[in-house]
Amino acid sequence: MIFSLILSGAAAILLYTGILFLIIALRKGDRGIYLIFALSSLLHGIHLLIEIMTIQQDTISGILLFFKPQVAVEFVAGIFWLWAIAHYTQVKPRRLLWLITSIYSLLATLNLVLPYGSIWQEVSGLQSINLPWGESYVHLMGTPHPLIILGAVTGIVSSSFIFYACFRQYQRGERQRASILAFSLTILFISFIHIYLVDAGVLPQFISTSPFAFLLMIILMSLQFADEIVKTELRLQYYNTHLEEIIEIRTSELRASIQEAAVLKERNRLATELHDSVNQTLHSLIMIADSLPKIWQTYPDEILPGLSKIKQMAQGGLVEMRNLLVELSPERLVDKPLGELLRQLAHALAHRSSLNITTRIDRELILPPQVQICFYRVAQESLNNVARHARATQAEIHLNCQHLDGNSEQVTMLVRDNGLGFNQEELVPSNLGINIMKQRAEKIGAILKITSQPHQGTEVSLKWSFSGSL
């Protein structure tokens, strides 16, 4: 029979497509869209095979034997197809999807349980269907079951959801995928309307157009999937070929971002220190200077302590300003001995905080520019952390240079405090200050070590080795 051959060809395409996408899903490890699409295609292919066996029967009992599981498989295939569309369009109203799934599952079960399925309430006989090329087959005649209305309403709701999903997909900018799906669904929707009108007796019996409409949809979406898979493979090949170049670009971008964050952090710190130290010092000087004439008239003996206080504050402000000028001009960090810079740093911090900071410099050194800047910045970051977080009362900076084996020397800087300390296991990996110190140390080939215990203070150690003499 020609009609059977046509259906067999359509079934073969659906089964082949289902198996192909099942293999793709298993190879790609994708349990989503490809897997659901494959199962839907396989079920529709099985549905066509059962339909071939149905049209070959010429008795009511023989037709019902295959017609009932045919319709049941069609409902189950519709469930998978609905979920495939939801994954394809990324529109997933789960309550609606599960409601439709439940109704289709119920209809599939009742179709197997009821004597004439969920399509027919009573079968009165057979009707011969004549095809245009002279072939004919028989079809059931009788009273439609009321459940056909539930199926029709559920089908309309499903179709409305699918068209809405296409619209949302189109709005997201996936216009090609949405247009292909909408075109295919329109043809499939027309075929479903034709089926219900035939089953309701409005239109004369003819061959079902839904298998061919669905076949068209499968072909179009398979081509779309294949195009996406090919593009993905090409992108992977490109990334594999240019992997080192891509990593280098990404690394450069990350390094630039870290440097930008460090610069911004440093600017904010300098702005804060200008406000907290120099600005407040000048403001206090003005207030004391304004009050001195009144004190002179009332308590002349208090003038000398007031002048002494002004002198002390002015000297402190001068130290702060010199320290800030040093930090704003990196060249000033390399033309003075490191010990002198560390003493200025300690003096400036002690002036604006309650910390008692002692410095112990065993040997005055001028280190290579990058090395000296690294030591200074690590000391600066460490002392700032002490002042802000440690709640310490005392801190110490110890700079030492000792001879190693051969012609090697090692410069060691220790920054200790008696503050709260912290649990190193709970240290946040993304801590910007510590990461910057580690990067500075790695850049010059130094070893940075941070040792701390809760309520036992913190020690920051920086060691740099070199050959020769300074």
The answer to whether position 132 is within a domain reads: yes
Greater model confidence, 82 or 307? 82
pLDDT at position 70, please? Answer: 87
The answer to whether position 97 is within a domain reads: yes
**Confidence class of residue 9 from pLDDT cuts 50, 70 and 90?**
confident
Query: For residues 77 and 75, what is the distance between their CA atoms, to the nearest angstrom?
Result: 5
The answer to whether position 200 is within a domain reads: yes
**Confidence class of residue 263 from pLDDT cuts 50, 70 and 90?**
low
State yes or no: pLDDT of 187 exceeds 90: no
Number of domains in the chain: 1
Domain CATH for 46: 1.20.1070
**Confidence class of residue 97 from pLDDT cuts 50, 70 and 90?**
very high
Query: For residues 453 and 451, what is the distance between their CA atoms, to the nearest angstrom?
Result: 7
The answer to whether position 52 is within a domain reads: yes
Tokens of residue 34, six digits: 């490809």
Query: For residues 351 and 313, what is the distance between their CA atoms, to the nearest angstrom?
Result: 9
Least confident window among 78-82, 101-105, 301-305, 439-443: 301-305
The answer to whether position 191 is within a domain reads: yes
**Confidence class of residue 56 from pLDDT cuts 50, 70 and 90?**
confident
The answer to whether position 442 is within a domain reads: no
Burial class of 334 by CB neighbour count within 10 A (0 to 12, 13 to 18, 19+): middle
Element (H, E) at 379: helix 369-385
Query: For residues 190 and 192, what is the distance between their CA atoms, to the nearest angstrom?
Result: 5
The answer to whether position 311 is within a domain reads: no
**Confidence class of residue 128 from pLDDT cuts 50, 70 and 90?**
confident
Are residues 316 and 351 in contact, defined by beta-carbon separation less than 8 angstroms?
yes
Per-residue pLDDT, averaged over 158-187, amounts to 83
Structural domain harbouring 118: 2-241
pLDDT at position 201, please? Answer: 59
The answer to whether position 278 is within a domain reads: no
Per-residue pLDDT, averaged over 77-106, amounts to 89
Burial class of 202 by CB neighbour count within 10 A (0 to 12, 13 to 18, 19+): exposed
